[in-house]
Structure 1
Amino acid sequence: MISTLQKINAQYLSSIFILMIVGSACMSANDPIVSNVDLANPDAEQTSNHTRSATPSSQTRISPKVKDTADSSSESTITSNEIVPTATAVTTTSVALTEQPKYKSLGDALPQPITEELTPAAIVAAQAEHLANLYETSVESVVFITADTRMSAGSGSGFVWDTEGHLVTNYHVIQTAIQSSTSLIVKFFNGREYRAEVVAWDRDSDLAVIKINEIDHKLIPLPMGNSSETRPGEMAIALGNPFGEEFTMTTGIVSAVTRTLSSGFSSYSIPAVMQTDAAINPGNSGGPLLDMNGAVIGINTQIKSSSRQNSGVGFAVPVDLAKRVVPSLINNGQHSYPLMGISGNEVNILLREKANLPRDILGAYVNRTSVDGPADLAGIRGDSSSTGSLNFDGDVIVSINSIPMKSMDDLIGYLALNTSPGDEIIVGVFRDGKEIAIPMTLGSRPATS
C-alpha cells in the first residue's frame, strides 16, 4: 500500500516538473524575461520577473542566437517557434538605466583649459621677471661709446646692427670725433673694449654708423621691430648710458607716434618720430628704444627739457627710417631722400575758413613750389601770393597713391618711409571744389652739408 502510493506520488510529481519545464520554454514572444538592477543602489538585490508591463528602458527580449548587431530600438525579438524546448535554464540580465545625460558634441567632451586668476602681486612679479630676462638678453648688444678730444670727452650709446661689426648711433654722438679726427672707444657689457671708426652719417635723421674690427667675441644684433605698427600706450624700454652710468634700463610707454622733429643739423625734419616717457637723459642718445619683446622700435635721440634732464618727454628716430638709412650708409656712404619740391602748412580751421574749404578736407596746403621742381613740373599749384601773406588759392594735397594725407607731417613721413628718388606717384589734389589726380616723378633731396 505504501509503495503503491509512493509510486503514484512520484509519477505525479514528475508530470508536474515536466509541465513546468515545457511551459517555461513555450512562453510567447510577448512574455519577456526581465531582470532589473538599480544602478543608483549597487547593493540592491537583482530580481527576475516575468511581466508584460515593463517599460522600454528596462526590458530586453532574449534570442537564443547571440548577435553583436545593435538595433536602433535596442531590442531583439524572437517568435515562440524559434525556441527549442529544453530543460536548460535561460538567464538574462537587463540593466535598468537611470536618466542618461543629453547628447554632447565631441568638443564638449574635451578637457577645458584651466584658467588661473592672477593676483596683482603675481602680475607685478611676472612683469619684473620678463623685464629682467629681456635686459639680460638685450644688454649684450648695447655699447657705451666715448670720444676723447683735447677739448673734452663726450659719450653716448649705440647698438649692434650686424655680425660684421657695424654699430648704429646718433650723428651728434660721434660729431666731435669727425671734426677732430679722434678715434672712438666702444665698450660692451661683457667688459670688452674696441676702437671704432666712423663709416658714414646722415644729418637729416641724426643717424650714424661706426664699425669695430678685430672682434674677439660673438656679436648679437638686436632684432628689428616695426615702428609703423607701434601704438601709443604700448611698453617702451630704453637702454643706454645716461650721464655715463653704463648699461642702464628705463621703462615707460610710447606716448605718441608720427611726431615731426628737427634734427638740429638740417633744414629738413625727421619724420614719424616716436615720443616716450621712458627716462632719457644725456648719454642715452644713440641707444635703442625697445618694445616689450626686445625688438628695436626707435633710436633715442632727444629730450624736451629746460634743465637737460629727463622731463618725461623723450624722442626716438623711428626704426622704419633707420632700416632705410643705415643700409644706404653702409653700402653707399650716404642716403638719398625723395623730394617733392613744396613748402606747406597743415589744413587747420583758420586756413579752411580763409580758403573756403569743406569741413571734411584734410591734408597739406601748398604755400609754394620750387621752380622746376617735381611738383612744379607736375602742375601742382602753390599759393599765388608773392609776399609773406597768403591768398589761399593754392592746392591741398589730400592723398598720395590713394593713401590719405591728413597733415603735412603725414606727407613728410610717407615720402621718407615709403618712396625713393625717381619713383612715380599719384598725388590727390583738392582744387576748385573737386579732387583731381596728378602724376609726379619724385626728385632727390640735395645733400646736407
Structure 2
Amino acid sequence: MQKSWKRMLRVGMSGVLAIAMLAGSTGLAAAQAVQTIHFTGYFDKQLRAQMAVTADSFPVVNVRLVKQDEPDMVYYDVGTSILISKDEVLTNYHVVQSFAELSDGDEGTLTVASPGSLSKPVKAKIIKTDPVTDMALLKLDKEIDAQPVAFANARDNQVVYTIGFPKNPAGDLVILDEDFPSTFNTIAKSRVFSSQALDVPGKKGIGSIVKSMAQGNSGGPVLDQNNRVIGMMTFVYGGRTYYITSKTLQTFIKESTTPAKKQVAVAGKVSN
C-alpha cells in the first residue's frame, strides 16, 4: 500500500491485455451492490446493505500517465479517496504523487469516480498536498452524487470498517479508465490497535488497526460503527495498517480553505 498499484498497458494492445473486472454499482441499488462487493469478516445482511451504500462516499482515484521517454506505454495508478464535500475528496499524497510531479513533456489525467457511477469518472485537480503526512486534497470538475462524510475520534480496541479498491479475490489488478470502467470494492472489519500510534519513527498524527490492507486501499477510510471517518489509511508497517487520524485530516482541510494573509508593506518592511 506504500505505493498505489501500477499496471502498464501497451497502447493498441490494451484490449488484449485487459482482464475483465467485476463491477460495483452501489449508487443504484444496495441489493445489487452487496453482490458485487467483497466483504471480509462477519457482516449480517442488514449491515452488508448499509455498508454497500456507504461505500459510495469513498470514490476511486485514478491516475493515467504517458511518459515522454516511453510513449508506447500507459501507466495506471488506482487508489481510494474520501468525499468531504460534493466536489472535494481527500486521498494520500502517494496516490497522486506521480501526477503531481509530472515532468515537462509527460501527459497525465487525474479522475475520480463514485463506485455507483464508475462509467462516469470526473476530472480532478490537486488543490493542496502534504507529502510529509501523506495527504492530498482534490477538487472535482463536477459534483458526485453521494453523501459527504462526517468525522469522529477513535478509541483503542473499537470495532472499525475499512473500504478500499485492492486486488480482487481472483488476483486481478484493479483498473479504472474509459476503456475499463469497472472495479472491485472490498469492505473489511477490523479493530483499532492504537488510536495514537507512537511506534513509527518520524510519524505523528497516526493510529493503527490490526489488519494489513492490500495495494489500492491507500486513501481509503477507517470508519466507526456509525460510518463516521476516524482516519484515512496510509501505509503498512510491522504487520499493521496505519491511518492518519481524523484530527490531522480535519486540520489539513481547514488550513486548505483558510485564505492566505496578504502581505502588507510598512516603512520598508513586509509583515503578515
TM beyond 0.5: yes
State whether residues 230 and 246 of structure 2, in contact with CA within 8 Å, keep that contact through their aligned partners in structure 1. yes
2:110 paired with 1:184: yes
Instruction: Give ranges in structure 2 of 5+ residues lacking alignment.
Output: 1-41, 68-74, 168-173, 175-182, 261-272
Offset, 1:248: 1.4
Offset, 1:332: 4.7
CA gap of 1:166–1:331, structure 2 versus 1, over 3 A, is farther
Q: 1:158 is matched by which residue type in structure 2?
A: S
State whether residues 270 and 317 of structure 1, in contact with CA within 8 Å, keep that contact through their aligned partners in structure 2. no
**Which has the bigger relative contact order, CA under 8 A and spacing at least 6?**
2
State whether residues 142 and 160 of structure 1, in contact with CA within 8 Å, keep that contact through their aligned partners in structure 2. yes
2:253 paired with 1:326: yes
Q: 2:195 is matched by which residue type in structure 1?
A: V
What does residue 66 of structure 2 align with? Answer: 150
Q: 2:138 is matched by which residue type in structure 1?
A: I
The list of structure 1 runs, each at least 4 consecutive aligned residues, that deviate by more than 3 angstroms after superposition, is 330-333
Offset, 1:183: 2.2
Structure with the largest fraction of helix: 1
- Residue 206 (structure 2) aligned to one of 248, 273, 282: 273
Q: 2:84 is matched by which residue type in structure 1?
A: W
Q: Distance in 1 between matches of 2:124 and 2:158?
A: 34
Q: 1:254 is matched by which residue type in structure 2?
A: V
What does residue 56 of structure 2 align with? Answer: 140
Q: Distance in 2 between matches of 1:134 and 1:301?
A: 25
What does residue 150 of structure 2 align with? Answer: 223
Q: Residue 182 of structure 1: SS of its match in structure 2?
A: strand
- Structure 1 residues 245-264: aligned runs within 5 Å: 246-260=184-198
- Structure 1 residues 230-249: aligned runs within 5 Å: 230-231=155-156, 233-243=157-167, 244=174, 246-249=184-187
Q: Distance in 2 between matches of 1:319 and 1:302?
A: 16
Q: Deviations over 1:55-102 (max 9, x none)?
A: xxxxxxxxxxxxxxxxxxxxxxxxxxxxxxxxxxxxxxxxxxxxxxxx
Offset, 1:222: 1.3
What does residue 423 of structure 1 align with? Answer: none
CA gap of 1:275–1:130, structure 2 versus 1, over 3 A, is farther
Q: Distance in 2 between matches of 1:254 and 1:329?
A: 28
- Structure 1 residues 9-20: aligned runs within 5 Å: none
State whether residues 231 and 244 of structure 2, in contact with CA within 8 Å, keep that contact through their aligned partners in structure 1. yes
Instruction: Give ranges in structure 1 of 5+ residues lacking alignment.
Output: 1-125, 263-267, 306-310, 334-449
Q: Distance in 2 between matches of 1:285 and 1:145?
A: 10
Q: Residue 238 of structure 1: SS of its match in structure 2?
A: strand
Q: Residue 149 of structure 1: SS of its match in structure 2?
A: strand
Q: Distance in 1 between matches of 2:133 and 2:148?
A: 21
CA gap of 1:179–1:272, structure 2 versus 1, over 3 A, is closer
Report the TM-score when normalising by structure 1: 0.40
2:234 paired with 1:301: yes
Percent identity between the aligned chains? 18
Structure with the largest fraction of strand: 2
Q: Distance in 2 between matches of 1:203 and 1:162?
A: 22
Report the TM-score when normalising by structure 2: 0.64
Q: Residue 254 of structure 1: SS of its match in structure 2?
A: strand
Q: 2:245 is matched by which residue type in structure 1?
A: P
CA gap of 1:223–1:183, structure 2 versus 1, over 3 A, is same
- Residue 244 (structure 2) aligned to one of 305, 314, 317: 317
State whether residues 276 and 315 of structure 1, in contact with CA within 8 Å, keep that contact through their aligned partners in structure 2. yes
Aligned alpha-carbon RMSD (Å): 2.3
- Structure 1 residues 52-201: aligned runs within 5 Å: 128-151=44-67, 152-163=75-86, 165-180=87-102, 182-191=108-117, 192-201=120-129
Q: 1:142 is matched by which residue type in structure 2?
A: F
Q: Residue 289 of structure 1: SS of its match in structure 2?
A: strand
What does residue 33 of structure 2 align with? Answer: none
Q: Residue 324 of structure 1: SS of its match in structure 2?
A: helix
Q: Distance in 1 between matches of 2:94 and 2:247?
A: 20
State whether residues 114 and 146 of structure 2, in contact with CA within 8 Å, keep that contact through their aligned partners in structure 1. no
Offset, 1:139: 0.7
Q: Deviations over 1:213-255 (max 9, x none)?
A: 233x53310121113xx12x21111101113253211111111
Q: 1:143 is matched by which residue type in structure 2?
A: P
Q: Distance in 2 between matches of 1:270 and 1:131?
A: 34
